[in-house]
Amino acid sequence: MNSELPDEKEVRCLCPPVIHLQPFGKFSQREAQLLGKELTKRIEDIFGVELECEVHPPLPLSDTLMNDGHTRYRADKIIKSMAANANRHNIYIGLTHKDISCSVHGKKDWGVQGLSLIPGNACVASTFRVKDRRDSWKVVCHEFIHTYFTYNHCPKDDPFCLMQAAKGHPRYKGKNGLCPHCSSVLKI
Ligand SMILES: [Zn+2]
Ligand SMILES: [Zn+2]
């Protein structure tokens, strides 16, 4: 998911960023470390650059991060809670096992797997809707790419591209990298 991304453009950043993984609630630091290892390995496979990844101790998921009905956590509130520490060279990615939502598709509270607010340097990923935990890195990598490159969804709608829009029905099978188009415009 993303919100209000600019039109697709070629983006190349000069200085590789540090990824900060910020677990929330019952998402343990150990889990975040394992996910961070997987993520940086995959990013290296995709972009040929090994990024530094810092894993922070979990923060509580406070009630103030919930939606009005107190049924889910708001993705935008989680992102904003990390925004002060994030900048172009320090991308913060919040991690939670809880269901998260945002206002999108004309719905006030729509459940999502992840969200990036552009412009911004923080995003959030939830494992709640990910059936196979081995696919969690794909959600995190998708949001990282939105955030770091201010990149929209795959313009080719390629089913094997990590940046394909989920459109409410996320599929992870066979998504292990970028399509030729996205890999030609995204470089670290
Ligand atoms: Zn997206
Ligand atoms: Zn693509």
Whole-number Å distance between alpha carbons of 60 and 19: 20
Distance (angstroms) between ligand 2 centre and the Cα of 184 equals 9
Distance (angstroms) between ligand 2 centre and the Cα of 90 equals 24
| Residue 106: both structure tokens together | 């004309």
Q: Is the pLDDT of residue 1 over 70?
A: no
If you classify domain 13-187 with CATH, what class do you get?
alpha beta
| Domains of the chain, residue spans | 13-187
pTM of the model: 0.91
156-186 pLDDT per residue, tens: 999 999 999 988 788 899 999 999 999 999 9
Amino acid residing at 98:
K
Distance (angstroms) between ligand 2 centre and the Cα of 154 equals 4
Whole-number Å distance between alpha carbons of 53 and 173: 26
72-124 pLDDT per residue, tens: 999 999 999 999 999 999 999 999 999 999 998 889 999 999 999 888 999 99
